[in-house]
Amino acid sequence: MSRPENRPLSQPLTRPLSGVRVLDFSTLLPGPMCTLLLAEAGAEVIKIERPGQGDEMRTYAPSFGSDSVNFGLLNRAKKSIVLDLKQASGRDQAIALVRDADILVEQFRAGVMQRLGLGYDTLSVIHPGLIYCSISGFGQDGPLAQVAAHDLNYLAEAGMLSLTAGHDGAPGLPPALIADLAGGAYPAMMNILLALRQRDSTGRGCHLDIAMADHLFPLMYWGLGNGFSSGSWPTPGSDLVTGASPRYQVYQTLDGQYLACAPLEEKFWIQFLDCIGAPELRDDTTDPAATVKAIAAIIATRAQDDWLAQFHGRDVCVAPVRSLEEAVKHPHFQHRGLFSAKLDDGSGRQIPALPVPIDRQFRGDAPAQGYPSLGEDQKLFESS
């Protein structure tokens, strides 16, 4: 295969998924995030919503325009139609849409689409080239396939939540929906792109079984390695990145702020100790807990800004623990243009659109875009 010529980043490319049509039967977060990524790369995404309420995410607070800001961020630049899949007419129209689609994304519990007559086995006969992506918590088969669950439950079942326990032994609540995004939306997008590539060669689509809980395990690669190779399975606070090492800690400063300190490698560790005036703590393996206590006592003697000035210009892997508001306003992320794209609420009010991990050269320079009101594109597809 010939390699495309190099292009400067400033030269826009054709959006790589232009001309690709996606039918999105999903709601809430994992599926809509996946199809948002597809839409940002140029795909036409048609959101199939149920009559009345539509996607449950529309009702979340706070609002932005006529619906939730959460819904708006996740469904920017998509189309919306309403189909009652419990009725034959709704299913017939869905099948008609499938004939001209490239990708179908669904997020029902395993077996629901089959019972509706919209399973992969049925639709692949009608459209052999269809890429059918099923996103679920535990996959399309197995003992947990029919268990109702959310992100926190997947983290618990996969062993990740246990590693968040603090000094009191109680697992903490992660601040991000890890399973939905890292276990669901991103693997779904990745596998859809692989399936498109495969279809270019074979002409046939496939059924993708994306289980959010399954895809949490690669995120704990180090724990799997320790456990499988030596039988030393991680426990809370027992390993390098779970609190056992003084080189990977959050320390509180005099003014009640915090520093995230991660001088893992020896070269960073030596500079870190030099900055805090404690070179005698270099041996951190004999009694790691005592070293943590000693460093905590030193960091607690000065304010956060004082320490940041002390660390400035040194390779020590130290960062202030910022609020989300502070992070959004930071000059670095502003310079990177993360929040340059806009979401429009339909009345002219705009807020930054959701930054997505699609390179800017593949997204183009689209102006501010809105999100669809429930069923607003119905007439475009009534004759499909």
CB 352, CB 342: distance < 8 Å? yes
pLDDT confidence of residue 302 = 98
Distance between CA atoms of residues 87 and 20, nearest Å: 28
pLDDT confidence of residue 13 = 59
Contacts of 76 (CB under 8 A, 6+ apart): 36, 39, 343, 353, 354, 369, 370, 371
Distance of CA 51 to the CA centre of its chain: 28
Assess whether 150 carries a catalytic annotation. yes
pLDDT confidence of residue 383 = 60
- State pTM to two decimals: 0.93
pLDDT confidence of residue 364 = 75
pLDDT confidence of residue 8 = 43
Q: Which two tokens stand for residue 213?
A: 């809980």
The catalytic position among 150, 207, 209, 284 is 150
Amino acid sitting at position 240: L
Instruction: Report the 10 Å Cβ neighbour count for 313.
Output: 7
Q: Which two tokens stand for residue 44?
A: 């036409």
Fold of 21-218+356-381: Rossmann fold (3.40.50)
Distance between CA atoms of residues 192 and 131, nearest Å: 7
Amino acid sitting at position 114: Q
List of the chain residues with pLDDT < 70: 1-13, 366, 383-384
Assess whether 24 carries a catalytic annotation. no
| CATH 3.40.50.10540 domain residues, the chain | 21-218+356-381
The catalytic position among 24, 55, 67, 180 is 180
